[in-house]
Amino acid sequence: MITKLAYNALIKEVELTPKPGLVDKGNNGSHKDMNIQTFYNSAEAIKPFIDEFYKCGNDFDGLRKIGIECEKAMFLTTNGINTHKGMIFSLAVICGALGSVGYTCLKTLRGEIKYICKDLVQNDLEKALHVKTHGERFYAQTKSEGIRGEASRGYPTIFEKSLPFFLEQQNKYGEDIALKLTLLLLMSITEDSTLFARGGLEGLRFVQKEAKKLLHVKDISLLEDCLNEFDEVMIEKNLSAGGSADLLGLTWFLAQLDML
């Protein structure tokens, strides 16, 4: 079941349309090197590793080794394009935690995630001698801990904000609109290293501000047009909220678990 849900989360995220600056069924967003088929291929490459994450449990070193092999499979199928590197990391941690504690409750799951990632920020960011990734560069320049900080704190952005918000909006509007609103919520609050890499702090703050405005659109029937307009602006500015997209997929994934 975990493999199916995790795979479906990858597909659900990429197929949500429109998504400002992101690859979807309508266009490639701000990405010239990938399209929706690239994401389909990537999801297929990741799929066989989900069960391995689950069986590995809370062994961080074991999860990292599997994750590295999963990344290799992703890059092989995408010809070197990074479609899901951040998502692979988070799926490894969350699925490993699920394999360790089972389907108990969200509080227990969060505690296990924190345990798995307890030394992550210190070892990967504070002690890093060479800056390689967007997340490491973001930390070096701003001290923002990015997805590693999220994981070490048990993904508070998801468990405390996007998940309850998504469930509330889903009850009001259905899944599709709820996902779009949740994406805007995440874009408005996430310290997204992908946005920082493309637009610096100025680009990041711009997207957060604009997403917050759209989140409070008074007439929900205008949401689609607003998202399309925002998409055009994001493409023009070459901005992409890849980190927020990952958190959206994870939010949907956790919402499907029988733990709520």
pLDDT, tens digit, 9 for 90 and up, residues 70-98: 999 999 999 999 999 999 999 999 999 99
Q: Are 182 and 169 in contact (CB under 8 A)?
A: yes
Residue 95 phi/psi, 5-degree rounding, is -70, -35
Name, in order, each residue with C-beta under 8 angstroms of 230's C-beta and a sequence gap of 6 or more.
20, 210, 211, 214
Averaged pLDDT for residues 222-244: 97
Distance of CA 96 to the CA centre of its chain: 17
Q: Are 228 and 18 in contact (CB under 8 A)?
A: yes
Confidence (pLDDT) at 120? 84
Nearest to 2 by CA among 41, 68, 42, 52: 52
Please say if the pLDDT value at position 141 is more than 60: yes
pLDDT tens digit sequence for 236-245 = 999 999 999 9
- Residue owning tokens 């449990």: 57
pLDDT tens digit sequence for 149-202 = 899 999 999 999 999 999 999 999 999 999 999 999 999 999 998 898 899 999
Please say if the pLDDT value at position 131 is more than 80: no
The pLDDT mean for the chain works out to 92
Confidence of residue 129 (pLDDT cuts 50, 70, 90): very low
Identify the structural domains of the chain with CATH numbers, from first to last: 2-254 (1.10.4200.10)
- The helix/strand/coil state of 106 is helix
Please say if the pLDDT value at position 105 is more than 80: yes
Q: Are 80 and 28 in contact (CB under 8 A)?
A: no
Distances (CA, A) of 132 to 128, 129, 139, 150: 9, 10, 11, 19
Confidence (pLDDT) at 99? 96
- Residue owning tokens 């990292």: 64
Averaged pLDDT for residues 9-34: 97
In the chain, which ranges are continuous DSSP H helix? 2-15, 36-56, 60-77, 85-101, 106-116, 120-121, 134-142, 146-152, 156, 163-173, 175-189, 193-215, 223-236, 242-255
Confidence (pLDDT) at 139? 67
Cis geometry, peptide bond prior to residue 48 (ω within 30 degrees of 0): no
pLDDT tens digit sequence for 42-71 = 999 999 999 999 999 999 999 999 999 999
Question: For the purposes of burial, counting CB atoms within 10 Å of the CB of 167, is it exposed (0-12), middle (13-18) or buried (19 or more)?
Answer: middle
Confidence (pLDDT) at 190? 94
Confidence (pLDDT) at 121? 77
Percentage of the chain modeled with pLDDT above 90:
81
Name, in order, each residue with C-beta under 8 angstroms of 127's C-beta and a sequence gap of 6 or more.
none
Averaged pLDDT for residues 15-34: 97
